[in-house]
């Protein structure tokens, strides 16, 4: 399940980063929105980092935190009506909910640092 969580976090981070790059290329960004774009870029980088750590079974807290960021992004993205949901809406729902479930259920899969016994 950690592999699925890692892949979903990677997908969400990459789709978010590609969307930001396309918005940046498409037009000029007002100075007020520049801060928001920087924060979104940091969120995308954090999601990709969490996905990589999930795949490597390292740093459970970072994986859980990035999955939690995915849930927060899903909630912020889905503030609008769902009666006209597109494929992108369903993608955000799936990549927002499942990683947090997979990461929290399979905490025992992550490598624990063994204490040094001298």
Residue 105 in contact with residue 4, Cβ under 8 Å? Answer: no
At residue 15 the predicted structure's pLDDT band, cuts being 50, 70 and 90, is confident
Looking at residue 114, its pLDDT comes to: 47
Residue 1 CA, distance from chain mean position = 16
Locate the domains of the chain by residue range.
Answer: 2-108
Looking at residue 85, its pLDDT comes to: 63
- Mean pLDDT across 91-101: 78
For residues 106 and 112, the model is more confident at 106
What's the burial of 103, exposed, middle or buried (CB within 10 Å: 0-12/13-18/19+)? buried
Looking at residue 69, its pLDDT comes to: 83
Dump pLDDT digits (tens) for 36-68. 788 888 888 888 888 888 888 777 788 888 888
Q: Which of 41-45, 59-63, 83-87, 99-103 has the lowest mean pLDDT?
A: 83-87
C-alpha 63/C-alpha 20 separation (Å) is 23
At residue 83 the predicted structure's pLDDT band, cuts being 50, 70 and 90, is low
């Amino acid at each position: 399940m950690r592999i699925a969580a890692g892949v979903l976090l990677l997908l969400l981070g990459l789709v978010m980063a590609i969307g930001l790059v396309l918005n940046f290329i498409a037009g000029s960004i007002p100075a007020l929105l520049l801060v928001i774009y920087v924060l979104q870029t940091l969120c995308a980088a954090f999601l990709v980092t969490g996905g990589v750590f999930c795949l490597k079974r390292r740093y459970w807290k970072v994986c859980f935190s990035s999955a939690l960021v995915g849930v927060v992004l899903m909630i912020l993205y889905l503030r609008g009506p769902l009666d006209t949901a597109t494929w992108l809406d369903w993608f955000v729902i799936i990549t927002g909910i499942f990683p947090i479930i997979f990461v929290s259920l399979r905490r025992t899969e992550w490598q624990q640092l063994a204490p040094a016994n001298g």
